[in-house]
Structure 1
Amino acid sequence: MKVLVAIKRVIDPYTKVRVKADGSGVEDTNVKMTINPFCEIAVEEAIRLKEAGHASEVIVVSLGDEACQEQLRSALALGADRAIHVQVDNTCQPLGVAKILNALMSKEQPALVLLGKQSIDTDNNQVAQMLAALSQRPQATFASKLNIDGDYVDVEREVDGGLEQLRLTLPAIVSTDLRLNEPRYASLPNIMKAKRKPMEVLSLEALGVSYQPTQTIEAVMAPPVKQAGVMVSSVEELVDKLRNEAKVIE
């Protein structure tokens, strides 16, 4: 069976994020970029399914400008078989991503689609659910354990009350959580091999998808600098400061 994995290019989580001077977004020029950590878990799980004999091919896809091909090559170095780059601008929103992935599902006919549960930049946690609705496929979100059993996929997911067991009929859509696995590091030979693996570049027109963003970013600002604490000598002084300075009580 084919496994389709969607990945996103994001700022490295260990890099300090800086807001652009004009407040239009965060600075990504000369900033280290990487595969979204949750997406990396999805790639690892797909590769493990192939190593276990459940998957015949692992396809990674990313949406964005030409720069996202760097992350696609990284996924190929981890063990994916081929990559698809869909050319869109970097303002593509969750519904647009879901529509594009739905078109790719129709084109590639994967038995399983794996996605990270959310990206660490926008934290929307929407694409997997929207894709399931558009494709009319069963879905499981926040997967912490996954097992293929014939024409079914068994998923264990974490919920507020504990663990939930789900059985989905393939083809299905699953979003991955942190505890599903620990991604591997790419070896030097695999990094070299990745340069020769196929990468297809597609446009929205080639996929028959049209999409217009419905949201605009008005402004992005850094959080206020945390002020130092103040020691008080009595309850009366504390109440006075809460009332007259912080104005949190009347």
Structure 2
Amino acid sequence: MKIVVCVKYVPDASGERGFADDRTTDREEVDGLLSELDEYAVEQALRIAEAAGDSEVIALTMGPDDAEDAVRRALQMGADRGVHVSDDDLHGTDVMGTSKVLAKAIEHIGYDLVLCGMSSTDGGMGVLPALLAERLGVPQVTLLSEVAVADGVVTGRRDGDAATEELSASLPAVVSVTDQSGEARYPSFKSIMAAKKKPVEELDLDDLGLDGDEFGLDGAWTAVDDVTARPPRQAGKVVTDEGEGGVQLADFLASQKFV
């Protein structure tokens, strides 16, 4: 079985994230890493491959040169090889364009199952798996907290606020998993060293038969019109307790309509 897991290189959420002059995500001023939510997808891909035997896990990403780090992390976790789609014309591409590029790359690779995280930690749209399934013309089974594959069928559990659903679909299919699906493994030193020898295929838009005019900021269906920096944090009010501290605190909370 051939499993393609989509991974994304995102700015570190613990850093000071912001926008560049063209109102795209500023990736120069903050360190990047594999999206934490995609680690769960990599973990489930590896578990499915281990259970099935005779399987291959391919980590696929789209992004600038540094995005290869996300693929390398997946290889360290245990993926067999990687594919990195990179092209200058892709700068500023939105989720609609991204889904078209990734779908073409998945068709180029060949697949039985596509696995994604529930969302990215930068854009946070959560619609890519559905878009991929539509472009590939295959079933989608999304937001699973449990997933398994047997006899050409993927099954899983989706937990909602009011109910739990048991879902299934025939392969090939697109699946997304939540952060409740199982903790991602931490790469060992041996697996980190082994990952350096695993191949990463580099593709551009020409390799996928795509026209660069469809992508980037000019080809995007969505745009950021304006951004406002978060205001600096102001100093708090210090209440000196001389027997009336509780009253002062209550008055402050009432004045701010917290109580």
How would you bin the TM-score normalised by the shorter chain? Answer: 0.7 to 0.9
Structure 1 counterpart of 2:178: 177
Structure 2 counterpart of 1:36: 35
Distance 2:92 2:53 in 1: 35
Displacement of 1:33 in angstroms is 1.5
Q: Which runs of 5+ in 2 are unaligned?
A: 238-247
Distance 1:204 1:23 in 2: 22
1:44-99 CA-partner distances (Å, limit 9, x unpaired): 11111122235610000110111111121111111000000001334221111111
CA contact (8 A) 1:17 1:26 kept: no
Look up the SS of the partner of 2:207 in the other structure: helix
1:128-174 CA-partner distances (Å, limit 9, x unpaired): 11111111111011110001121101011122322111110000000
CA contact (8 A) 2:24 2:92 kept: no
Number of equivalences: 238
Structure 2 counterpart of 1:207: 208
1:176-225 CA-partner distances (Å, limit 9, x unpaired): 10100100111111111111111100011111123322222222323445
The answer to which of 55-64 and 29-38 deviates more is 29-38
CA change 1:55–1:138 in 2 (3 A) is: farther
CA change 1:155–1:90 in 2 (3 A) is: farther
CA change 1:151–1:224 in 2 (3 A) is: same
Structure 2 counterpart of 1:191: 192
Distance 1:148 1:199 in 2: 26
Structure 1 counterpart of 2:63: 64
Distance 1:21 1:117 in 2: 26
Structure 1 counterpart of 2:227: 220
Q: How does 1:101-112 map to 2 (within 5 A)?
A: 101-112=102-113
CA contact (8 A) 2:15 2:30 kept: no
CA contact (8 A) 2:144 2:159 kept: yes
Distance 2:20 2:12 in 1: 20
Identity, % of aligned positions: 32
Q: Which runs of 5+ in 1 are unaligned?
A: 243-250
Look up the SS of the partner of 1:141 in the other structure: strand
Displacement of 1:19 in angstroms is 3.0
Structure 2 counterpart of 1:5: 5
